[in-house]
Amino acid sequence: MIELHAEQTRPLMKMLKEYTKGLKDVEVAAVQADLEKEDTWSLENVAQVEHRERNYMGMLKYKKEDEPELLRRLILKLNPNVASSLVPGLPAFVLFMCVRHTDYIDDDEKVISFLTNTIDKIEQVVREHHDDLDRVTLWLANTCRLLHTLKQYSGEKQFKKENTPRQNEHCLRNFDLSEYRQVFSDLAVWIYQTLIKLMENTIQPYIVAAVLNHEAFVGLKESKPGGLRGHSSSRDDETPERSLGSLMKAMTQFLLVLTQHAVDPELVYQIYRQVYYFLGASALNNLLIRKELCNWSKGTQIQCNLYHMEQWLRDNKLQDSGAGSSLEPIVQASQLLQARKTDADVDSVCDMCSKLTVPQIVQILNLYTPVDEFEERVPILFKRKIQQKLKERENTDTTFLMDLKFTFPVTFAFIPSKIILETIEVPEQLHINKLVSRC
């Protein structure tokens, strides 16, 4: 009986084991599915985590030992062509952002070293490239921008008026750099003078040919007094390298470079005022010692050439720079050559020559030489009456030749920037990314 029962239950037990095993497989599969689902959920959540955008503080951090290489790359080795393709004044902003970090960590020694060496490197690059228009202009522009930036973020009320709230948060908190601002101002004056000298040296070979000899009127032949009539005139097509067009081309090139490096507009005005003064003074000094230039025909030609130079100023929106006024002495000299010279004209001639000194007026009248039989020499009595009338002038100037070294005072009007420091990126072209870190 027992054996019979065992035989009957054996198949049932086998079925039960198989069923139980099937249940375990289902449970394990379900557990595994749950685990996989949980893993997938975790990965999805990790992938969807969004980091808040970092709020940069508009500073650049650098190691003290990297300072020499940083300034070498940013100042000494900076290519003007690269700089002109970047944000205007970017080198100045980068320098100030480094200064801001030294202020943030309140490291007096570090900021003194950085600013002192910055000044030295700017002076070095200008000295080494004093005949490179682009490089001198680049560092005039950036020295001025650094000066403006040191003022804008000084925290001083007078320089904060146009700042945004965010810009005011970037003001220096620990350092008063007003003494360094004066040093940078003096440095900018010296670079300005270097640039002016470079421009003057560039145009000096053109002045006589372009202003005094250039024949502006097509078809008007230049007459020459006495024994000079057989000589050829200095016409534009005969001396293209010394023509009025060449002089104006140089002026245009100056303006192009000044614009490329974003020199302050007010400073551009001062530059052209100074350069035009040199040009006019050089032309007048040559006129005062050259008899062959003192006749009616030459006066007409010179005035026409000067008109083209004044028109160039208008075409380039520089008519308010004062450059045109710098030409007044040579303009009045050309008018004197063309003026009637009778007793009835004494008062008008003296009034017309307000920018010429007595010796200059007398010299031009003494040198005046008619070029044909229709003109008369200046009567001696007329000269005497002119001299007598000129004695009535207040503060009579006895200067004969104009001072070619005279310079107008240069000023740097404060021009704040709208650029927010924290938005400035350091481009790869500067090659300093490994030396600074944005913070």
Print pLDDT tens along the chain (439 aa): 545 555 655 665 666 566 555 555 555 555 455 545 555 444 444 444 444 455 678 999 999 999 999 999 999 999 999 999 999 999 999 999 999 999 999 999 999 999 999 999 999 999 999 999 999 999 999 999 999 999 999 999 999 999 999 999 999 999 999 999 999 999 999 999 999 999 999 999 999 999 999 886 544 444 444 434 334 444 433 455 568 999 999 999 999 999 999 999 999 999 999 999 999 999 999 999 999 999 999 999 999 999 999 999 999 999 999 999 999 999 999 999 999 998 889 999 999 999 999 999 999 999 999 887 667 788 899 999 999 999 888 777 889 999 999 999 999 999 999 999 999 999 999 999 999 998 8
Q: What is the DSSP annotation of 391-403?
A: TTSSS-----S--
CB burial of residue 147 (10 Å; 0-12, 13-18, 19+): buried
Q: So where are the chain's domains?
A: 1-50, 57-264, 270-411
The pTM of the full predicted model, rounded to 2 decimals, is 0.83
Contacts for 21 with CB less than 8 Å, ≥ 6 apart: none
201-214 per-residue burial string, b: 16 or more CB within 10 A, e: under 16: ebbeebbbbbbbbb
Q: Where is 110: in which H helix or E strand?
A: helix 108-128
